[in-house]
């Protein structure tokens, strides 16, 4: 956006340069559609927002000719998920058996992934990325949305657009400005995220670690472990008040002894980020001239690490369905409804599954009043070879695959 001008025009204004916004921006720019992505932050740096690129995303990247570039940024690959509890190890899912070129989760720092998308999209003259640009409201005329109002370092700008896409995440400003309500459900837990240094001698596998009221999710990110410590909702303040020394002692109760000295690296709460876990979705993803995608339309919990991948699948579906209409200069309500119809039920399904895991495994593990055991149906499920493949498939693809149509 040129400084000094206060009214601009674009065909598609995308609010939010997260995974959903950047992928949609790239896809529309490839089709020659004038597209402007507005991102409030000055850069893409964002720790602990998920670095997990699943087969669904990697296959989309391969279609765009970007898979090798993405994999070069990868810190590690996850192929197996285990649950370790009271000396027992249960394999929950193995991605190795998937029939795909990418039978793993690539751990790619989100900052590198988003920078790569920005670089690729920037090769198209019709793509404009405005960092440091906060959308403050919508331009509403004749009962529809006609663009956005934003604040830049140069002042206030009115960006008029044929279509405005809210890809601005769980706290979406666009959603609020449009008066669309998010129906939110609290999860039974909150999460504390932190990192610990990693060496190849560490005997940790990626997966869940459970011991008497404690649950960790451990992810290998190359030179460090990313660890999520789950705790019952409402216990966060008590944990903080007890101090970081007490938190370290809690961690030692669940981590193997070989890791106990590494826990000493945590010496201040500033090294620990907290996340209030919630899930939710909106009833209607669109209004005239407006569409919500990604977390703006459906907030995901971190269970299964599917949020980024679902946001990207929304972007691909939206790009496929809307590009022809955007090229023709008019997007109808029918077009927008098609995007919701395509993506709504896969989203509902995976949110239900996340809730089931939260209630059956996580809440059960956090209760801690008796040794944790997977319930009988889950154990039987994991014993049946063809059923055992299902978690791996669902983690990797969800229930509906999306591919880029050119
Ligand atoms: C702590 C945590 C851990 C997570 N871990 C994982 C994981 O391991 N794997 C996984 O797949 N998912 C994970 N998720 C979920 C994942 O982060 C989201 O599902 C995913 O990022 C959604 O992508 P999005 O593009 O829809 O929104 P976001 O990634 O939230 O992007 C929205 C963008 O919009 C920008 N923005 C917001 N408001 C405005 C405004 N007014 N104007 C302009 N720009 C604005 C924001 O700065 C941001 O860049 C995690 C989430 C959290 C909170």
> What's the pLDDT tens digit per position in 47-101?
667 789 999 999 999 999 999 999 999 988 989 888 888 778 888 888 998 999 9
Residue 23 sits in a domain whose CATH number is 3.50.50.60
Give the per-residue pLDDT at 167. Answer: 98
pLDDT band at 316 (very low <50, low <70, confident <90, very high): very high
Question: Would the pLDDT of 261 be above 60?
Answer: yes
Q: Tell me the whole-structure pTM to 2 decimals.
A: 0.92
Question: Percentage helix, strand, coil, to 5, in the chain?
Answer: 40, 30, 30
Q: 108 CA distance to ligand 1 centroid (A)?
A: 15
Residues 193 and 228: beta-carbon distance below 8 Å = yes
Does 22 sit in the ligand 1 pocket, CB within 6 Å?
no
Residues 151 and 163: beta-carbon distance below 8 Å = no
For residue 179, give its domain range: 7-77+104-183+279-366+390-397
Question: Would the pLDDT of 324 be above 90?
Answer: yes
Residue 25 lies in a domain: yes
Question: Would the pLDDT of 198 be above 90?
Answer: no
Q: Whose CA is nearest to atom 20 of ligand 1?
A: 308
Residue 28 lies in a domain: yes
Residue 298: C-alpha distances to residues 167, 228, 237, 284, 375 (Å)? 11, 22, 27, 11, 29
Residues 6+ apart with CB under 8 A from 135: 15, 38, 40, 148, 149, 150, 168, 173, 174
Give the per-residue pLDDT at 313. Answer: 97
Mean pLDDT of the chain: 90
Which stretch of 32-41, 117-126, 166-175, 362-371 has the lowest confidence by average pLDDT? 362-371
Rounded to whole angstroms, the Cα distance separating 163 from 151 reads 19
Residue 198 lies in a domain: no
Residue 22 lies in a domain: yes
Does 289 sit in the ligand 1 pocket, CB within 6 Å?
no
Domain count across the chain: 1
CB atoms under 10 Å from CB of 237, counted, come to 8
Residue 24 lies in a domain: yes
Give the per-residue pLDDT at 48. Answer: 62
**Strand (E) or helix (H) holding 196:** strand 182-197
Residues 224 and 383: beta-carbon distance below 8 Å = no
Does 298 sit in the ligand 1 pocket, CB within 6 Å?
no
Residue 250 lies in a domain: no
Residue 403 lies in a domain: no
Structure tokens at 55: 């087969």
pLDDT band at 274 (very low <50, low <70, confident <90, very high): confident
Give the per-residue pLDDT at 356. Answer: 83
Q: 341 CA distance to ligand 1 centroid (A)?
A: 22
Give the per-residue pLDDT at 1. Answer: 53
235 bridge partner residues: none
Does 167 sit in the ligand 1 pocket, CB within 6 Å?
yes
Ligand 1, atom nearest to 16 Cα: 34
Question: Would the pLDDT of 3 be above 50?
Answer: no
Residue 84 lies in a domain: no
Rounded to whole angstroms, the Cα distance separating 168 from 20 reads 9
Q: 253 CA distance to ligand 1 centroid (A)?
A: 32
pLDDT band at 46 (very low <50, low <70, confident <90, very high): confident
Rounded to whole angstroms, the Cα distance separating 348 from 355 reads 11
């Amino acid at each position: 956006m040129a400084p000094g001008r206060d009214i601009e025009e674009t065909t598609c204004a995308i609010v939010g340069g997260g995974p959903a916004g950047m992928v949609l921006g790239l896809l529309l720019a490839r089709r020659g559609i004038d597209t402007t992505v507005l991102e409030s932050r000055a850069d893409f740096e964002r720790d602990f927002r998920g670095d997990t690129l699943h087969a669904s995303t990697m296959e989309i990247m391969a279609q765009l000719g970007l898979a090798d570039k993405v994999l070069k940024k990868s810190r590690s690959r996850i192929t197996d998920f285990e649950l370790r509890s009271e000396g027992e190890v249960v394999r929950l899912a193995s991605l190795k058996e998937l029939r795909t070129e990418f039978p793993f989760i690539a751990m790619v720092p989100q900052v590198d992934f988003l920078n790569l998308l920005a670089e690729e999209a920037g090769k198209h003259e019709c793509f404009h990325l405005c960092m440091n640009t906060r959308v403050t409201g919508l331009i509403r005329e004749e009962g529809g949305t006609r663009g956005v109002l934003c604040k830049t370092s140069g002042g206030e700008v009115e960006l008029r657009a044929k279509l405005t896409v809210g890809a601005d995440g769980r706290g979406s400003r666009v959603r609020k400005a449009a008066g669309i309500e998010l129906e939110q459900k609290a999860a039974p837990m909150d999460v504390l995220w932190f990192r610990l240094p990693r060496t190849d001698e560490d005997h940790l596998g990626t997966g869940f670690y459970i011991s008497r009221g404690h649950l960790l999710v451990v992810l290998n990110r190359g030179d460090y472990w990313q660890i999520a410590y789950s705790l019952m909702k409402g216990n966060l303040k008590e944990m903080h008040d007890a101090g970081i020394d007490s938190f370290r002692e809690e961690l030692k109760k669940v981590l193997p002894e070989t890791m106990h000295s590494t826990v000493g690296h945590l010496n201040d709460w500033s090294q620990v980020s907290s996340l209030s876990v919630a899930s939710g979705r909106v009833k209607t993803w669109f209004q005239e001239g407006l569409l919500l995608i990604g977390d703006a339309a459906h907030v995901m919990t971190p269970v299964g690490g599917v949020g980024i991948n679902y946001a990207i699948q929304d972007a691909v579906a939206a790009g496929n369905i809307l590009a022809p209409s955007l090229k023709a200069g008019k997007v109808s309500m029918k077009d927008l409804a098609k995007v919701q119809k395509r993506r709504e039920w896969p989203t509902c399904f995976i949110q239900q599954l996340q809730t089931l895991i939260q209630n059956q495994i996580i809440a059960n593990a956090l209760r801690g009043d008796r040794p944790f055991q997977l319930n009988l149906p889950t154990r039987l499920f994991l014993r049946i070879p063809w059923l055992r493949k299902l978690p791996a498939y669902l983690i990797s693809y969800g229930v509906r695959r999306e591919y880029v149509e050119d």
